[in-house]
Structure formats: structure tokens, C-alpha cells
Structure 1
Amino acid sequence: MSTPATPATPAQPRPGRPRSAAADAAILRATRDALVELGWSKLTMGDVAQRAGVAKTTLYRRWAHKNELVVDAVAVLFDELELPDRGSLLEDVQGVVLQFAALLERPETKTALMAVVAESTRDAVLRERIRSAIVDRQKRLVLLGRERAQARGELPYEESPAQAARNADLIFDVIAGAVVHRALVSAEPVDATWARNFTALLVGGLGGVPPSSPAPPAAPEATPPAPEAQTW
């Protein structure tokens, strides 16, 4: 069985008084608000501390750098994703696609995610933090959905744990990549129709794509009238 998602875990606290969960939540919320208003380049740790109502020392005890703070602020949003059992693989996938798309529509998610992804192209440490705090943790949905589908007989069991891990990575990449591209790059709606067609393609392969309506037959060319007989 897959393990449930663990909450976003910022940098390990230093020895001293126990951390305040309320302060953590306020800091992460202030980080997202500041990103929406200011953007990545103007966001500072001091601004976040002021918005959250905490001392800068409190902030730095939890997060040493802006990069890891922003990633954790995004990660807690993705931890809201769930995969209730809808009775079939098709319904499970379609449901999580629509839920994921709705999350990406929120300004704080959209701004924060695009900011950290852009910065990660120049920062290998940031890329690794995105992988561990967001990507790896959200693969729980793939593992859970696959286990349900296998128990229903909708998917075969893999021959080895290595093959199972590769399949989980591929499924996650396909779903996350398609939804992020559709919602944030193409700026097209991820509605029920798109989600249904995408799920059919994912589950059934190219043969599962609903056929398009056949083109109407071309109208026959008009037969030119026969020339009139000439009289001499």
C-alpha cells in the first residue's frame, strides 16, 4: 500500500523552542502573497517576515534562502491534491486531472510554480528541492491510482519493483506535463471534455482516442450540359 502524503517539511529546525505550526503557515501564505504582488525578483525575506508578522530571525531559523522558502510555499498547495476512489481507472485519472488544473488556476499556485521552475533552470540545488518537495511527494497519487487499478484488474502487475518505479515515473511525467503545458504554456482550458479525451488517450493508447466525425462526402462535380446539336 502507498503511504499517505507527508506535509511540506521546510528546513530542519535548529535546537531550541518547538516550532509554531501557525507561524509556519503564516510565513508560507505570506510568501505566496508576496510572489503574486511582487514577483520573484522583488521578493525578499524581509518582506515575507513583515507580511507574516514574524521576526526575520524567526524566518531564517526555518529557511536559510529564498529559493527553499518559495518551493515549500508551493509544495503545501500540491499536498491538497487527493485521489478519491471513483470506481474506475478512467474516472480516477479524469478526476485528478481536473483537480490539478483547478489548482493551477489559482494565482498563487500559477505564479509561484512558474517562478521556481524558471529559477531552477539556473540552479541545480533548487531543481533538486523541487523534485524532493513537490514531484516525488506527488507521485503518491500515481502509486495509489495504480494499486487500485491493479486490484480491479484494469492494469497488470509489473514484473519487478524496478519496472514498477519506471512506470510510475512515466505516468506522472505524462499527466503532470500535459496538464501544466495545457494550462500554463498554451493557456487553454482543462475542462471536462479535454480531461476525458486526454484520459482516453492515456489509458487506451492511440486506439483509445475518440474518432473524429467523418468528413462529409464531397459533392459530385456537376456534369456539364451536352452541347446543342448544330444545324448546317
Structure 2
Amino acid sequence: MTLTVRAPFRSMLALTPRTGVLLLVVFGVVRVALVLQANVTGSYQLVSFVFVAMIVLPWLLLTRDGRRRIGMVGPSRWRWVLPAALAGVASALVVYAAAAVLWGHTVSHPFAYIALSYSNVPSAPSDSDRLVYFIIYAVIGMLFSPIGEEVLYRGLAHESIATRWGDRRAVLTDATAFAVTHLAHFGLVFVAGVWAFLPLPALLWVTAMFLVSLVFYGFRRLTGSLIGAIVAHAGFNLAMNWVIFYLILG
């Protein structure tokens, strides 16, 4: 097992549940703190560094065999890559539709609240500006968080936990951590200079994030690679941004 870890770190690190949970807690706490601060300041640059750190971590800590073990390989079953993207898109549209039925495009809708975090985007952009903003936010949303989060949650943390607890307990653990962390993005909201907690919308959001985590992991298994999870996640973020720019800000 230690051969998966680079020599300088073998005495202090192994792919065990303790390591996996520690990574989820440390990255989760740092991310929540930075996102909550960004909700106030409107500046999310530091949050991007968290995703970059998630991406870099396996290259820093693991050998080539270790990276392969956590899924950093090309897909062995490419036929599942396109379904992964479509499943991600469909998942986002289901979340949008469910929240829209319950709360419309009010601040209780997770995508409507996330739209408020796009502080440099006009509330009613022109058609040409809308396309430009959509492309910018879609590209960013399809790169940083899908790659970083899938490498951490469905990759390094999952495999560390699965070594002793098994895949089922590992996926439930990383999905729970993923869902709870996303409360910083919606659920605990900052509107008009005031913090508030929205219990029912937060419950829907956390449940949705837990379920999409299972979808992402499912496509990691189906493709035999983290590429499946990353593509599904990118599809979710693409659809979410389309909803924001063409339905909510439309």
C-alpha cells in the first residue's frame, strides 16, 4: 500500500480511511470558510486555489501507480463518457425544475442564489453579453471544480476510505462530505447584507448534491476512470450555467 505514496511522505501518510476523512475535513473547512467570505466580498479567486490544490495533491503525494489506483487513467470503457455528460446535464435540469416548482426564481432557488454570486454580471444582460458571460462561466465551471472535486472526492479520499471500509461506505462518506460542503454555496445565504439559513431549500440542495455525487461515482465505475466522474460533473455545471444565463437571468 505504501508503494502508492511518494517516498518523502510514506512515513506519515498511507491510503487509509483516516487519511481520506482528514482530507475531506481539511479541504471542506477551508473551502467553506473561503466561500462564505466570498459571498460577502463577491470575490471568488481564492476559492479557485482550493480546486487547484485538489488537482495538484495526487501529483505531489502519490506515485504513478498511486495515481492510477485512484482513477487518474484514461477510460477503459469510452462508451460511457457521453452518457456521463448527458446524465450530468439531466441532473442539473431536474434540480432546477424541482426548485422552480417550489420557489420559482426567488433566492430560495439554489441556482438563483448562485446567480447572485456572479457579481460582475448585469441582472439583465443583452443577448450578446449573455453569450459571452455564459461561455466564460461555463468554461470555468467545467474545469476547476469538476476536475478538483472529482480528484479529491471520487479519487484520493474515496480510495483511501475504501481500503478498509469498502466502496459502499466510501461513496456514502465522500458523497455526504461533498453535499455538506455545498451548504456554503447555498443554504446558508447572504442577501442584502444579512446572513440567513433556509431550511427546506437547504435540505433539497444537500439531498441533490448527495444524489449527484452518487451519479458522478457511478460513471467513474462505468468508465473505469475519474474522467467519467469529471465529465458528468462538468455536464452538471454546464447545464446549471445555461439555466442561470438563459432562464434565471433571461
TM-score range, shorter chain: 0.3 to 0.5
Which structure is richer in relative contact order (CA contacts within 8 A, separation 6 or more)?
2
Q: TM-score, normalised by structure 1?
A: 0.37
More helix by share: 2
